[in-house]
Amino acid sequence: MPTRLLLLSDTHLPVRAKALQAQVWRMVDEADVVVHAGDWVEPALLDELEARAARLVGVAGNNDGAELWARLGEVARIEVDGVRIAAIHETGAKAGREARCDARFGPASDDPADVLVFGHSHIPWDSTTPQGLRLLNPGSPTDRRRQPVGTVMTAVADAGALRDVALVPTPR
């Protein structure tokens, strides 16, 4: 059965915004799995998402404190409808990203993933590495950094494939 995914990162609450937009909360309610790639800033959003999301997977980012790191860690891994998904906050500079990600998460790594969700830059990214690892950065719904508006991503995991990946604008 297809699984609806919502990909978030870099929410920076309550520093960059006081709350997530109603539009984003509606997507949380509609998703089967929410993946957050770090930089929550305060644990309150983690608590809210844990209470509201059908399933939440998250990692801590460089702006997250000790409590978030203790609760989440650096890397998360799940399998959804035959799709192996990993999440991490930071993948380093744009130059060399695909090779670094292939080495750590690609098919030849110790614990391979099919999809890597990451954040940090606040800039959306969708590419496939030479070894076939899909790299997705949903941007930020609250801090658009050099983008016209904030963004999140939606996707569907279905029978071992990721499909219908969409970048969704989240204007304030």
Global pTM value? 0.96
Give yes or no for a contact between 77 and 154, defined as CB atoms under 8 angstroms apart.
no
| pLDDT on residue 35 | 98
What average pLDDT does the structure give for the chain? 96
Give percent of the chain above pLDDT 90: 94
Query: How many other C-beta atoms can be found within 10 angstroms of the C-beta atom of residue 48?
Result: 16
- pLDDT, tens only, 92-128: 999 999 999 999 999 999 999 999 999 999 999 999 9
Give the H/E segment covering residue 171: none
Domain count, the chain: 1
Read off the CATH number of the domain in which 68 is found.
Answer: 3.60.21.10
Kindly report the backbone phi and psi dihedral angles of residue 15, in degrees, each rounded to the nearest multiple of 5, phi listed first.
Answer: -75, -50
Edge-to-edge strands of the sheet including 83-88? 75-80, 83-88, 115-117, 134-137, 125-128
Name the E strands within the chain.
3-8, 33-36, 56-58, 75-80, 83-88, 115-117, 125-128, 134-137, 151-158, 161-169
Of the candidates 79, 88, 84, 86, which has an alpha carbon nearest to the alpha carbon of residue 38?
Answer: 88
Find the domain containing 21 and state its range.
3-169
Q: How far apart are CA 77 and CA 93, in angstroms?
A: 22
Geometric angle at alpha carbon 39, from 37 and 41, rounded to 5° = 145
CA angle 119, 122, 124 (to 5 degrees): 80
The predicted-structure confidence for 24-68, as pLDDT tens digits, reads as follows 999 999 999 999 999 999 999 999 999 999 999 999 999 999 999
